[in-house]
Amino acid sequence: MNREMPYLDSFMKETSRLSPGPIGKSALSSSISGMAVEKNHYLTPTTVSAPRTVMVPYTMEDGCHIPAGNWIAIPQLALMRDEKIWPNGKEFEGFRFVDEQGDASESRFTHPSHEFPFWGSIKHACPARFYVSVVIKMVLSHLLLDYDFRLENPTAAPFLTFGKVRVPSPFMTLLVRKRSTGSRV
C-alpha cells in the first residue's frame, strides 16, 4: 500500500477534526460485552481529550486556581472548530490539509499538534496512531472500491446531542450493497 496518500490523509484528518472521538481499548475490543463493561465515553465522540487529574494544587499566571483532585482536559471539540484557528471551522473541507503541490507532510492525520489534539497531547501522543492510520486506510480502500453506500433518508438528522456527547443517530439507516465483480471503480 502506498504510504503517500495526502488526499486520503487530509480527508481522514478533516473528518476527525469535525467529529472527534477517542479510540479507546473498548472501541477496538472484539467483544461486545467487553465494550459494554468499559466506560461509555470510549464509544462516542466527546468534547474533551487527554483528561488528567491534578495531583497538587496549581495556580496559573492569570490567577486561575486548580485544586488537587480536579480533572483538566483539552477542550478538543471547541479547539478543532475554532474559527480563529481553522477558517470555516464548522464546515467540512476534505482537502483542507493538502497544499497546492498535493503535500500534507506537516498536516498528516498522524501528526499531533496544539490545534489538532485528536491523538492526545504532543508530548504524549498515542503511540498506535501510525498503525491505526494504516488500518483505517486499508479498510476505507476496501469499502470504497467494493461497495456502494447511500442513506435511506438523506434529509434525516445525522446525529443526536446529549450534553457534551454527540452520537450517531440510531434512526439513520445506511444502505450498503456489494458491487458485482466486474464493476470495480
Tens-place pLDDT, residues 2-23: 457 888 888 889 988 887 764 4
Grid cell in block for residue 1: 500500500
Average pLDDT value for residue range 39-59: 69
Task: Supply the pLDDT for residue 2.
Answer: 46
Backbone φ and ψ for 33, nearest 5 degrees, come out as -65, -35
| pTM for this model (two decimals) | 0.67
Q: Could you state, in order of their start, the residue ranges of all structural domains in the chain?
A: 6-54+68-147
Grid cell in block for residue 129: 496512531
Residues near 171 by beta carbon (within 8 Å), at least 6 away in sequence: 156, 157
Nearest by Cα to 42 from 16, 17, 22, 19: 22
**Whole-angstrom distance, CA of residue 44 vs CA of residue 122:** 23
Q: Are the beta carbons of 12 and 107 closer than 8 angstroms?
A: no
Residues near 10 by beta carbon (within 8 Å), at least 6 away in sequence: 94, 95, 96, 97, 98, 104, 107, 109
Average pLDDT value for residue range 24-46: 38
Tens-place pLDDT, residues 85-132: 999 988 899 888 887 766 656 668 888 888 888 888 788 888 999 999
**Whole-angstrom distance, CA of residue 66 vs CA of residue 70:** 7
Task: Supply the pLDDT for residue 147.
Answer: 94
Containing H/E element for 15? helix 6-18
